Amino acid sequence: MHDAERAAGTAAGLAPADVKAFYDPRTCSLQYVVSDPRSGACAVIDPVLDYDEKSGSTATRSADAILAHLHERGLRVAWILDTHPHADHLSAAAYLHSATGAPTATGAQVVKVQQLWKELYNLPEGFPTDGSQWNRLFSDGDGFRIGGLEGSVLFSPGHTMASVTYLVGDAAFVHDTLFMPDGGTARADFPGGDARALWRSIQRILALPDRTRLFTGHDYQPNGRPVAWESTVAQQREQNAHVKGQDEESFVRLRTARDRTLPMPKLILHALQVNIAGGRLPPPESNGRRYLRIPLDAFGAAPWE
């Protein structure tokens, strides 16, 4: 069976996944706990480590809210999953791993992102670029289990070289590939991004059964509407502002033109050095303090806010 067909079959099985969303207004990010109602097993997807760029302060309020939910529901964490190395927030995967002991995982192509950003940050030679910061690296079509729920991985490059979609029962976690229909799609101009690859990833997602529930990773509340995070394949195919009525060539033109006008996310340089390390903060230096690196002029003539 082709990998896409296997992934579609997972969603078509309609095993109901219980999904709880946690919205972080500081970064407009969605974090998820997806659980098997029968066994109480769950996975945490894309958890946020709180960070204030003005003071350099970190906190675990967002991740602790997830831990409180797990405790209240009596859920057992089977996986801590990153969809990709995030540019909008720091990952709390390492913190949740230390709190729960659950294995961490992300897409196997994260090694390419590590290699690219290691050079941009001029990280020490000993910084590993083999993905060993996670317990497992998933390739396209790989399967995993959350109690009685079957999960599978759909490689979804474009926004980054490493992005993946997690299919769990009747739910798919697409993060920065598709936003809500009125929000369109994610940008593809980060180092290693590719608008054409993004279009093809979107088409694979939209080939899933119509009733597959799609959960996005950000919501910027277009026109001031309330926060939203869940749609279906059918809704996205019929209504997505960047996909409806487009073909590959017109989408690439639209996405590329739009990306030229967008400033870089305010935390991209802060976040990537943490997130390519699986959510681990840099080690303390001789004075006991941790430091982030900010490469100057890394993006050339990027638009300013």
Mean pLDDT, residues 184-192: 95
Q: In this structure, what are the phi and psi dihedrals at residue 22, rounded to the nearest 5 degrees? A: -125, 120
Q: Is the pLDDT of residue 6 over 80?
A: no
In this prediction, residue 301 has a pLDDT band, given cuts at 50, 70 and 90, of confident
% the chain with pLDDT above 70: 95
21 φ, ψ (degrees, to nearest 5): -100, 145
pLDDT average, residue stretch 153-175: 97
Confidence of residue 14 (pLDDT cuts 50, 70, 90): low
Inside any domain, residue 78: yes
Q: Which phi-psi region, left, alpha or beta, contains residue 4 (left: φ > 0; alpha: ψ -120 to 50)?
A: alpha
Structural domains counted in the chain: 1
Average the pLDDT over 190-195 and give the result. Answer: 94
The DSSP string of 43-91 is EEESPEEEEETTTTEEE-HHHHHHHHHHHHHT-EEEEEE-SS--SSSEE
For residue 286, being part of any structural domain is answered with: no
- Domain region containing 150: 3-275
Instruction: Judge whether 299 lies within some domain.
Output: no
Q: What is the pLDDT of residue 300?
A: 82
Q: Which two tokens stand for residue 240?
A: 């997505």
**Domain containing residue 249: CATH number:** 3.60.15.10
Q: Can you tell me the distance from the alpha carbon of 241 to that of 233, in angstroms, rounded to the nearest whole number?
A: 14
Per DSSP, the residues of 274-289 read HHTTTTPPPPP-TTS-
The answer to whether residue 2 scores a pLDDT higher than 50 is no
How many residues are recorded in the chain? Answer: 305
Backbone angles phi, psi at 261, to 5 degrees: -95, -5
Q: Which residues face 21 on adjacent strands?
A: 32
Q: Flag whether 271 is in a domain.
A: yes
Over pLDDT 90: what percentage of the chain? 92
Kindly state whether residue 302 falls inside one of the protein's structural domains. no
If one compares 303 and 71, the residue with the highest pLDDT of the two is 71
- Say if residue 127 is exposed, middle or buried (CB neighbours under 10 Å; 0-12, 13-18, 19+): middle
Residue 27 in any domain: the answer is yes
Average of per-residue pLDDT across 120-136: 97
Does residue 284 form part of some domain?
no
Encode pLDDT of 203-259 as tens digits.
999 999 999 999 999 999 999 999 999 999 999 999 999 999 999 999 999 999 999
pLDDT digits (tens, 9 = 90+) for 259-283: 999 999 999 999 999 999 999 999 9
Q: In this predicted model, what pLDDT tens digit does every residue of 48-107 receive, in sequence order?
A: 999 999 999 999 999 999 999 999 999 999 999 999 999 999 999 999 999 999 999 999
Which residues, in sequence order, are bridge partners of residue 218? Answer: 29
Amino acid identity of 203? Q
C-alpha to C-alpha distance for 117 and 121, rounded to whole angstroms? 6
Residues 6-26, mean pLDDT to the nearest whole number: 75
Kindly report, residue by residue over 280-297, the tens digit of the pLDDT: 999 999 999 999 999 999
User: Does 223 fall in a domain?
Assistant: yes
